[in-house]
Amino acid sequence: MKPAGFLIATLLLAGAAPAQQVKWNFDKLAARASDSVDVSLDGALLQLGAKFLSDDDKDQAKVKKLVAGLKGIYIKTFEFKKPGEYSAADLESFRAPLHPPDWQRIVGTHSNEDGETVEVYIKNDSKGIGGLAIIASEPKELTLVNIVGAVDLDSLSDLGKHFNFPEVEVEKKK
């Protein structure tokens, strides 16, 4: 294959390559955590879940719209009995895969009041935002969010304003 052809083929393959989730290793923290939440939704599960969301409920309809452009949602939350169960090195290991040029840190906030730090990273692709990663650390809690696909940040943040999604509806039939 000629160099130009090879370059074009490589670019085409790169464009066609599926967006991938961030590779984080949770083994160390899982052993120290007193409690954890694990959400792992690949494309198929995400779309199946979206089908069960109600169009009549305003928030669920918003979620449905938001989820339509996504390829995966992966969330891990660890709760610890006491502060200091995770180190700065642990946090650094989660930041490591989120490096430029693929990833860009857009927000970093810290509150002295509750000791919470939130870092928001976005993944750039040819069409715009191709993914989102959030590292939120509190003295006794650590949350890692990875959303794969074109995510609408304003809509997601708007959904986060009010948590009136029915929690009990989880296991109920429609």
Partner 1 sequence: MASLDDELRSALRRREPSPDFTERVMARVASTPARPGRRLPQPWVRWVASMAAALLLTAGGLEYRNYQGERAKSQVLLAMRIAGGKLNKAQRKVQMATHRGNS
Report, in angstroms and rounded to the nearest whole number, the Rg of the chain calculated over CA atoms: 18
Closer to partner 1 by Cβ: residue 93 or 105:
105
Which residues 6+ apart lie within 8 Å of 169 measured at CB?
none
Smallest distance, Å, CB 95 to partner 1? 15
Distance CA 108, CA 23 (A): 21
Backbone region of residue 39 per phi and psi (left: phi > 0; alpha: psi in -120 to 50; beta: other values) = beta
Smallest distance, Å, CB 85 to partner 1? 19
Closer to partner 1 by Cβ: residue 17 or 55:
55
Smallest distance, Å, CB 97 to partner 1? 18
Smallest distance, Å, CB 20 to partner 1? 18
Closer to partner 1 by Cβ: residue 2 or 174:
174
Distance CA 109, CA 116 (A): 8
Distance CA 137, CA 155 (A): 23
Q: How far does CA 32 lie from the centroid of its chain?
A: 22
Q: Which residues bind to partner 1, rule: CB under 8 A?
A: 37, 39, 41, 45-46, 48-53, 60, 63, 66-67, 73, 75, 77, 107, 109, 111, 116, 118, 120, 132, 134, 136, 143, 145, 147, 153, 156-161, 163, 165, 169-174
